[in-house]
Amino acid sequence: MTYRPLIGTSWKMNLTATEATTYLRELVPRVDGLHDRDIFVLPPFTAIWVARRELAGTSIGWGAQDVHENEAGAHTGDVSAAMLVDLGCRYVEIGHSERRRAHGESDARIGAKVRTALRHDLTPILCVGEAERFTLRVARSSVIRQLSRSLARVTAADLDRLVVAYEPVWAIGVGARAAPLGHTAAMQAAIGAWLSAHGARTPRVIYGGSIDTSNAASILALPEVNGLFVGRAALDPETFASIARTPIDGLPHKEKP
């Protein structure tokens, strides 16, 4: 099985629209010519229009960090899938651990958001990950439970239309370190196997959690890893560009045109 590596970033609650303009104008020329991978950025809602303006006509995709599960209505402060599509979004992040913790989002609600995104032809990036540094057996059980509950009503065919981002919660945040390569490989393989067992023909599973220029290549080289979801290191466009340009030559499991 081959695939195009997917490398992206969520800015979280960082960068104003003005700052986003500067960022993207620095990023675009730094990743120009990368045609063997897919790159995306997820700005805050207030800067998505900037991404549309600055990235239109480039190979870089853009999207949002959340979406409401309902089509419209009295949901103050929320944003619908149709609104994201109108802004040219291709991706939407769903179920990040910070949303689960700070906003009480359950697997059932996360699943509803995934289905809404799919109805609007958005690519959901479903975040899963164990809360603490458990043994591999416990970590696998925790993540498979999240998948089972959030994707219970997603059809087999639609599993090929989404991306799962494995982000161990203990590997996220200031002072954290990326998960050991062996743990990452085993967890990515378990997620891919679950997706395949439920009908996915080309499961796409990316890794997120304390990625930087020192470890991006070794993580991406793992056969089980289909891409990278970069956090705080990507708030610097030069650093994100460097990670996005991680060589894939010599990695036969990655598709090269």
> Where in the sequence numbering do the catalytic residues fall?
96, 167
Give CA–CA dist 195/250, Å, rounded: 27
Q: Where does residue 165 rank: exposed (0-12), middle (13-18), buried (19+ CB within 10 A)?
A: buried
Are 89 and 64 spatial neighbours (Cβ–Cβ below 8 Å)?
yes
In the chain, % helix, strand, coil (3-state, to 5) comes to: 40, 15, 45
Q: What is the dihedral of CA 41, 66, 125, 166, to 10 degrees?
A: 100
Three-state DSSP state, 205: strand
